Amino acid sequence: MDHDNQTWIQTFILAGFTISETLRPLAFMGTLCVYLLTLAGNLFIIILVKTDNGLSTPMYFFISVLSFLELWYVSTTVPTLLHTLLHGSSPISSATCFTQLYVFHSLGMTECYLLCIMALDRYLAICHPLHYHAFMSSQVQQGLAGATWLAGFSGAVVPASLTATLPYCLKEIAHYFCDLAPLMQLACVDPGWHAQVHGAVIGVATGCNFVVILGLYAGILRAVLKLPSAASRAKAFSTCSSHMTVVALFYASAFTVYVSSPGSRSEGMDKLIALVYALLTPFLNPIIYTLRNKEVKEAVRRVTDRIKTFQRGPL
């Protein structure tokens, strides 16, 4: 398309999912329920960690930071998903679209760094238990958590700003939120080098962190196998299993969309895969971190007992 005939597009159209009119209310209600449960589950973890002294450890501090991140992460895309499910194709202003693009990728890259820090925390706890609390002081925890947010929101500036400065000739985005690849398909010019820059930036954030996580868990595995008893090995593995599950869910879906070749997937598959890391993973994280977790169950019991004692009042 001739660049000279391009006009500045003020509004894009989010195509969303192609669903029959009879199924729209059901899809909307199902998604809304998952969204509300996601908010409730992550808020539950944040409040529980803040109110129970038994969870005042670096591991649960980082889990609460992850839950806080997930509240914002899921709230970045689900409102537009709900709108397209209920009303079909929906308009979105270019400013809102590019803001959503930036915030979504900032939070996604922040989660990459945070998952890496959480793996480092488990590595220090298992491989260097005598020095663990010295390494992971309260100041260090807060500094590491802040650094993940700074790195994530800084790293997303490049791909978001490059995408925002492209000239656009088409309006309909084949997605339920503003993402890099669907937006670049609407450009009047060949966005080839933009895609290469995006791939490099996102590849460094995801790939390098993933390699570090694998290296840390390799060290954990070697240390655990040297433990003298099966019970101690099982206990050490149990503290890592939840985090490994979350890492597998997040990276498997993210790599499929942002690293693999788009031509290898059928049309519309990216939208389905995006549901995994943008909605399903934030929904499952509270369940994964609390299911069969004795420390969390005991914390719930202690908080519940305190609430009951407070309601009864002084005798």
Q: How does pLDDT run across 93-137, given as a tens digit for each residue? A: 999 999 999 999 999 999 999 999 999 999 999 889 888 988 999
Q: How does pLDDT run across 275-313, given as a tens digit for each residue? A: 888 899 999 988 888 876 778 888 888 888 888 777 776
Per-residue model confidence (pLDDT) at position 3: 47
Residue 82 lies in a domain: yes
Residue 310 lies in a domain: no
Transcribe 198-218 into DSSP letters. Answer: HHHHHHIIIIIHHHHHHHHHH
Q: Please tell me the distance from the alpha carbon of residue 297 to that of residue 288, in angstroms, as a whole number.
A: 13
Contacts of 122 (CB under 8 A, 6+ apart): 59, 216, 217, 220, 239, 240, 243
Residue 30 lies in a domain: yes
Residue 18 lies in a domain: yes
Surface-to-core class of residue 104, CB atoms within 10 Å of its CB (0-12 exposed, 13-18 middle, 19+ buried): buried
Domain residues for 262?
12-305
Per-residue model confidence (pLDDT) at position 2: 46
Per-residue model confidence (pLDDT) at position 260: 62
C-alpha distances out from residue 103 to 107, 159, 280, 290, Å = 6, 12, 19, 28
Residue 5 lies in a domain: no
Q: Please tell me the distance from the alpha carbon of residue 26 to that of residue 6, in angstroms, as a whole number.
A: 40
Contacts 24+ apart (CB under 8 A), 226-230: none
CATH number of the domain to which 287 belongs:
1.20.1070.10
Q: Please tell me the distance from the alpha carbon of residue 183 to that of residue 174, in angstroms, as a whole number.
A: 8
Per-residue model confidence (pLDDT) at position 259: 64
Contacts of 198 (CB under 8 A, 6+ apart): 159, 162, 163, 180
Per-residue model confidence (pLDDT) at position 313: 63
Record the tokens describing residue 33, joined without a space.
Answer: 């329920």
Residue 265 lies in a domain: yes
Per-residue model confidence (pLDDT) at position 263: 53
Handedness of CA 140, 145, 146, 152 (dihedral sign): positive
Give the predicted TM-score (pTM) of the model.
0.89
Per-residue model confidence (pLDDT) at position 147: 97
pLDDT digit string (tens) for the chain, length 315 residues: 444 444 567 899 999 898 888 889 999 999 999 999 999 999 999 999 999 888 889 999 999 999 999 999 999 999 999 999 999 899 999 999 999 999 999 999 999 999 999 999 999 998 898 889 889 999 999 999 999 999 999 999 998 999 998 889 889 999 999 998 899 889 888 877 877 887 788 878 888 899 999 999 999 989 888 878 777 777 777 778 888 888 988 888 877 776 665 555 565 777 888 888 889 999 998 888 887 677 888 888 888 888 877 777 655
How many independent structural domains does the chain possess?
1
